[in-house]
Amino acid sequence: MSDQKFLDGMIVKSPHENAPDFVLGKISFKVDEVIQSLKDNSKNGWVNMDLKKSREGKLYASIDTWEPDSQSTNQESKPKPDMSVPSDNEPDSLPF
């Protein structure tokens, strides 16, 4: 994807070959650069990042720029309750 955005002043590296299995990688920050980049890319005080692996197997992080459609609402994604009335042939799900 050519539309990926990256945080200035941040480097993601694969773990050292002798690192334990629970170490997934290393992240380094150049403080002055990353602070400015965080300020420049924040939305409502947050910057979301995606940790990814390239085709060559190298780790990297890109800024998550996804935003929900303005037409979509949370109500559309919630399942609607079943308002149907059980027929006489269907047992009630209530224990009484």
CB 76 within 8 A of CB 70: no
Question: Apex CA 43: angle with CA 47 and CA 39, to 5°?
Answer: 65
Q: How many CB atoms lie within 10 A of CB 26?
A: 13
What is the per-residue pLDDT for 71? Answer: 74
pLDDT for 28-85, tens place per residue? Answer: 999 999 999 999 999 999 999 999 999 999 999 999 999 888 876 555 556 666 666 6
* Ramachandran assignment for 27, one of left (phi > 0), alpha (psi -120 to 50 degrees), beta (any other): beta
Instruction: Using a cut of 0.75, tell me whether the model's pTM lies above it.
Output: no
3 to each of 6, 11, 46, how far by Cα in Å? 10, 19, 20
